Amino acid sequence: MERLDKRLANTGKWSRKEARELIRAGRVQVEGAVCRVPEQKVEETANLTVDGEAIGGSGPVYLMLNKPAGVVSSTDEPGARTVLDLLGEEWRNRGLFPAGRLDKDTEGLLLLTNDGPLAHRLLAPKRHVDKVYYVEVDGTLDPEDAEAVRAGIVLGDGTVCRPGELELLGEGRARITIHEGKYHQVKRMLAARGKPVRYLRRERFGPLALDQNLPKGGWRALTEGEIRALFRQ
**Catalytic site residue from 5, 76, 103, 211:** 103
What residue type is assigned to position 231 of the chain? F
Task: Give 63's strand partners.
Answer: 112, 221
Q: For the segment 169-208, give every residue that binds ligand URA (CB under 6 A).
A: 184-187, 200
Number of residues lying near ligand URA (CB under 6 A) = 8
Cβ count near 219 (within 10 Å): 21
Cβ count near 173 (within 10 Å): 15
Integer Cα distance of 202 and 223 in angstroms: 19
Verify binding: residue 216, ligand URA, rule CB under 6 A.
Answer: no
Is 142 in the active site? no
With CB under 6 A as the contact rule, which of the stretches 43-51, 99-107, 204-212, 220-228 interacts with ligand URA?
Answer: 99-107
Minimum CB distance to ligand URA smaller for 56 or for 108: 108
Residue 107: CB minimum distance to ligand URA, A = 9
Please give the biggest Cα pair distance in the chain: 65
Cβ count near 72 (within 10 Å): 19
Residue 53: CB minimum distance to ligand URA, A = 27
Residue 200: CB minimum distance to ligand URA, A = 6
Integer Cα distance of 55 and 216 in angstroms: 20
- Report, as residue numbers or ranges, the catalytic residues: 103
Where on the chain is the footprint of ligand URA (CB under 6 A)?
A: 102-103, 106, 184-187, 200
